[in-house]
Structure 1
Amino acid sequence: MEFLVGSVWAAGLAIGIAAFGCGIGQGLGLSGAMSGISRNPEAAGKIQVNMLIGLAMIESLCIYALVVALILMYAHPALKGAIAALGGH
């Protein structure tokens, strides 16, 4: 049961750190893009495309952290014993 509790704590911590880091990264990227567009409005199209690709890459890191967190919570042997102990199938 301790492994299950540790997994849930690790999953929550992983998602929290990933969301914090991705939020900072996206904010910095958006700030840089807006600064570039304000200096050179003619390049807004190219800057916007590159910004969107960069933001998608940053967001994928948070999604990977979510997948790892879900694996930690639901795909380990202790979960089967915990469910059986709680009266599940």
Structure 2
Amino acid sequence: MEGNIAEIGQFLGAGLAAMGSGIAALGVGNVAGNFLAGALRNPSAAGGQTATLFIGIAFAEALGIFSFLVALLLMFAV
């Protein structure tokens, strides 16, 4: 009986950690959307902010990949 409860907790934790991947996708959309809104308001400044856009996207994606790895560790760790 104890093994089943531990397995349920393992999969529940993995599911919660995997939700971070979806939240990271929302973060990337937010970063890109705000950049686009700013670029449309001031097109001359958009070129100087492109590096900041890519850094923001990279950080958001890194958090998504990290949460995916945590989910995999929780699912398959012994």
The normalised TM-score by structure 1 is 0.72
Stretches of structure 1 that go unaligned for 5 or more consecutive residues are: 77-89
Which residue of structure 1 lines up, in the alignment, with residue 15 of structure 2? 12
Consecutive aligned runs of 4 or more in structure 1 exceeding 3 Å deviation: none
The root-mean-square deviation of aligned C-alpha atoms, in Å, is 1.5
Tell me the CA shift for residue 50 of structure 1.
0.8
Identical aligned residues as a percent: 35
CA distance in 2, matches of 1:67, 1:22: 13
Deviation digits for residues 59-88 of structure 1, max 9, x if unmatched? 111111111111111122xxxxxxxxxxxx
What's the counterpart of residue 62 of structure 1?
Answer: 64
**Partner of 2:55 in structure 1?**
53
Matched residue pairs, number? 75
Superposition TM-score, scaled by structure 2 size: 0.80
Structure 2 residue ranges without an equivalent (≥5): none
Q: 1:42-72 CA deviation, whole Å, 9 max, x = no partner?
A: 2222222211110110111111111111111
